[in-house]
A and B are shown apart, each in its own frame.
Chain A
Amino acid sequence: MEATLPNLLLGFSTVFTATNLFYALIGCLIGTMVGVLPGVGPLAGISMLLPTTFGLNPASAIILLAGIYYGAMYGGSTTSILMKIPGEAASVMTCIDGYAMAQKGRAGPALAIAAIGSYAAGTLSVVGLMFLAPPLARFALGFGPPEYFSLLLCGLVVLGYMTGGSVAKNLSMIVLGLLFGMIGIDQMTGYFRFSYGLVALGDGIGIVPVAVGLFGISEILTTAGQTKRPEVIKPRFRDLFPSREELRDSVGPIGRGTILGFLIGIIPGSAHIISTFVAYAVERRISKHPERFGKGAIEGVAGPESANNAASEGALVPLLALGVPTGPIPAVLLAALMVHGINPGPLFIKEQPVIFWGLIASMYVGNLVLLLLNLPLVSIFVNFLRVPYKVLYPTILMFCVVGVYAVNSSLVDVGIMSVMGLLGYVLRKMEFETAPMVLGVVLAPIIEVSFRQSLAMSNGEYSIFVQRPISAVFLAGGLAMILLALKPLLMKKKDWRERLTEAEKSK
């Protein structure tokens, strides 16, 4: 704890170079553009833009990618408020009161409160990340293969439960993802598995083609042919300032949204989406005037927007401290870190303090950049929304192809992206969530190796997973989630997951 301040100073000394500040700025701007454009979520955005970081040193690359990440989380609110179209899934709840405010001529204050809430939540969450990740990493140094296997198994079960929709369908997606992750050379024996003579599949299926295919290409395929041009409300700079009353009403929701978002962000699943749902429900529940919600209540914007930014940074705690991504976006960030030779995990903070603390410091800077630049530039970002979709989607398709190709200079990856795009398109029609599949692909090698190593350690005794206390706790957590998933079979009342799914579908 006492080393935090010197470490943070080390981080700021890394960030406060002209080059890194420039990359933080560019990352935030690109991220906001990615978030603003409907259909290009943070996941596809980071995946497509990953090759642009190849020529950079690791610290600059991570600063740029982190900027894109939280810029995209912020940018989604703009389309929600001005068009009632969530720029990304976490902005669904912002649509309700944000758009209602815009219709009443209060788009500016809604955008301003979203930006202020995102800034406050982002900054406070970095404080949480800064104090929580190092001790968690030290704790995880004691983990052996059984603990890792149980942790990952528990994480995947929690993901299946928390993602929304049918748990059986989510678990099927995880297993399908794990099976895709089996393709390629077996790490322990060198056997080629399910690669059908294709040498290029030896390294397995990469996370980038899978993520771009399932999220980028399938989105293009699903929305192809749409000609409707949605109306965009364009706010003026002088209309952006919220009234004193609006500011006062937003303080509580921002604080509560931050705490809820950060805590939910650490849990596997669609944390950034769930956190907005929970924050909105909490604000409505404790409000003295719940009837204002849905008709332009500022609390309905402040709470969810703070929560989604806090959740996106909370998700970095397990990623950086344990090397375990809790959702598809952290999974792509993990892949991006690994491309630059950085392996997040218990030893990451100790062995690469410059990168870790540089990332932390860049988040403080990035959040400030987002606040200072994005509000004045909102009318410029709005212009991106005026680009007709028939011009936009071929451009996105081109960036998908070049982004995926550039990672390994492999056309097989472009082929995998196309297949995943088709699969994602069909899965969406069949009402499957594709995020669990991405995580399955990423975690497959780690979970398999830790499983086989555990069995080798115990000479084939499965009881090793329950004999070790930490492992047993993780397994009990996973079992509890399965029991919770079975609850709707016994009770007729809709649980929160079904209500969340309905809320998302109704937008």
Chain B
Amino acid sequence: MTIDRASGTFFILLGLFVIWERRVLPLGTPGNPGPGYFPLLLAILLILLGGILLVRGGQAVTLRSVQWPEARTAMAILACCAFATLGMETIGYRVTMVLILGFLFGFLERLKIWQVCALTVSLAFGSFWLFDTFLKVPLPRGGFGF
């Protein structure tokens, strides 16, 4: 399986999914197209393009040859993004950033403890001051008001 054929298959499945999900949206008429009209056209177009990739993708590199050496670190970073999404309004911007930066600097990058503390505190509190206090862009304070 090549990367182009895998992508083509994905696009065809995605197009079919959009067509299935679109069924609750009225199509309207050609003279008065409804909210489902344009998504349907796009889904059909995506299926066609997926088909082209599937048919013509035989010469592309194989899926197996794609290297993912950084995948573990990447997943840890994505977990940090997910943590920020879920936790920032509950525990506040500063605490969230201290935890995330502490994890990245200390656990993932193995910096010295004083470097971790200095960088984490200065960046988390410094960015809060810059955006929230100085630029008046409100950042979440969390349940404890901090």
Q: Which residues of A contact B (CB under 8 A)?
A: 51-52, 54-55, 166, 168-169, 171-172, 175-176, 178-179, 182, 186, 188-189, 191, 193-194, 217, 220-226, 390-391, 393-395, 397-399, 401-402, 405-406, 409, 411, 414-415, 417-418, 421-422, 425, 429-432, 448, 451-452, 455-456, 458-462
A221–B78 alpha-carbon span in the complex (Å): 8
Looking at the assembled complex, report how far the CB atom of B139 sits from the nearest CB atom of chain A, in whole angstroms.
7
B21 touches A194 (CB 8 A): yes
Looking at the assembled complex, report how far the CB atom of A184 sits from the nearest CB atom of chain B, in whole angstroms.
11
**Neighbouring B residues of A54 by C-beta, 8 Å:** 135-137
A52–B21 alpha-carbon span in the complex (Å): 39
Looking at the assembled complex, report how far the CB atom of A145 sits from the nearest CB atom of chain B, in whole angstroms.
12
Look across to chain B and name the residue whose beta carbon is closest to the beta carbon of A429: B66
A193–B18 alpha-carbon span in the complex (Å): 11
A411–B33 alpha-carbon span in the complex (Å): 34
**Neighbouring B residues of A418 by C-beta, 8 Å:** 78, 81-82, 85
Report if B69 contacts A (CB, 8 A): yes
B77 touches A221 (CB 8 A): yes
Look across to chain A and name the residue whose beta carbon is closest to the beta carbon of B11: A172
A132–B68 alpha-carbon span in the complex (Å): 47
B81 touches A417 (CB 8 A): yes
Among B29-56, those with CB < 8 Å from A are 29-39, 42-43, 45-46, 49-50, 52-53, 56
**Neighbouring A residues of B60 by C-beta, 8 Å:** 431
Report if B117 contacts A (CB, 8 A): no
B139 touches A402 (CB 8 A): yes
Q: Provided the pairs A395-B123, A425-B74 are in contact, do residues A175 and B131 lie with their beta carbons within 8 angstroms?
A: no
Give the A-B contact count at a CB cut-off of 8 A.
Answer: 177
Q: Out of A168, A176, A191, A193, which one reaches B52, CB within 8 Å?
A: A168
Q: Provided the pairs A166-B4, A421-B81, A460-B31 are in contact, do residues A405 and B139 lie with their beta carbons within 8 angstroms?
A: yes
A397 touches B104 (CB 8 A): yes
Q: Which residues of B contact A (CB under 8 A)?
A: 3-4, 6-7, 11, 14, 18, 21, 25-26, 29-39, 42-43, 45-46, 49-50, 52-53, 56, 60-61, 66, 68-70, 72-74, 77-78, 80-82, 84-86, 88-89, 93, 97, 100-101, 104-105, 109, 111, 119, 123-124, 127, 131, 135-140
Q: Provided the pairs A169-B4, A221-B74, A402-B131 are in contact, do residues A193 and B35 lie with their beta carbons within 8 angstroms?
A: yes
**Neighbouring B residues of A397 by C-beta, 8 Å:** 77, 80-81, 100, 104
Looking at the assembled complex, report how far the CB atom of B68 sits from the nearest CB atom of chain A, in whole angstroms.
7
A364–B134 alpha-carbon span in the complex (Å): 29
Looking at the assembled complex, report how far the CB atom of A222 sits from the nearest CB atom of chain B, in whole angstroms.
7
Can you name 25 A-B residue pairings with CB atoms under 8 Å? A55-B135, A55-B136, A166-B4, A166-B53, A168-B53, A172-B53, A175-B45, A176-B14, A176-B46, A182-B38, A194-B39, A221-B74, A224-B77, A225-B70, A391-B119, A402-B127, A409-B138, A411-B86, A411-B88, A414-B88, A418-B82, A429-B66, A432-B7, A451-B38, A461-B30
| 10 smallest beta-carbon distances between A and B, as pairs | A460-B30, A460-B31, A418-B81, A186-B35, A224-B73, A221-B74, A390-B109, A225-B73, A394-B104, A191-B35
B85 touches A182 (CB 8 A): no
Looking at the assembled complex, report how far the CB atom of A497 sits from the nearest CB atom of chain B, in whole angstroms.
16
**Neighbouring A residues of B104 by C-beta, 8 Å:** 393-394, 397
Q: Provided the pairs A169-B7, A401-B84 are in contact, do residues A51 and B135 lie with their beta carbons within 8 angstroms?
A: yes
Q: Out of A169, A172, A394, which one reaches B101, CB within 8 Å?
A: A394
A217 touches B81 (CB 8 A): yes
**Neighbouring B residues of A224 by C-beta, 8 Å:** 70, 73-74, 77
Q: Out of B34, B49, B111, B140, which one reaches A172, CB within 8 Å?
A: B49
A169 touches B138 (CB 8 A): no
**Neighbouring A residues of B136 by C-beta, 8 Å:** 54-55
Looking at the assembled complex, report how far the CB atom of B99 sits from the nearest CB atom of chain A, in whole angstroms.
12
**Neighbouring B residues of A451 by C-beta, 8 Å:** 33, 38
Q: Out of B31, B56, B66, B77, which one reaches A455, CB within 8 Å?
A: B31
A51 touches B84 (CB 8 A): no
Q: Out of B33, B38, B46, B100, which one reaches A398, CB within 8 Å?
A: B100
**Neighbouring B residues of A430 by C-beta, 8 Å:** 3, 6-7, 66
A390–B109 alpha-carbon span in the complex (Å): 6
B101 touches A179 (CB 8 A): no
**Neighbouring B residues of A55 by C-beta, 8 Å:** 135-137
Looking at the assembled complex, report how far the CB atom of A177 sits from the nearest CB atom of chain B, in whole angstroms.
10
Looking at the assembled complex, report how far the CB atom of A75 sits from the nearest CB atom of chain B, in whole angstroms.
21
Q: Provided the pairs A172-B46, A191-B35, A455-B30 are in contact, do residues A421 and B78 lie with their beta carbons within 8 angstroms?
A: yes
Q: Provided the pairs A175-B45, A394-B104, A405-B88 are in contact, do residues A455 and B73 lie with their beta carbons within 8 angstroms?
A: no
A411 touches B89 (CB 8 A): yes
**Neighbouring A residues of B38 by C-beta, 8 Å:** 182, 448, 451-452
A356–B109 alpha-carbon span in the complex (Å): 46
A217–B97 alpha-carbon span in the complex (Å): 16
**Neighbouring B residues of A188 by C-beta, 8 Å:** 35
B34 touches A189 (CB 8 A): yes
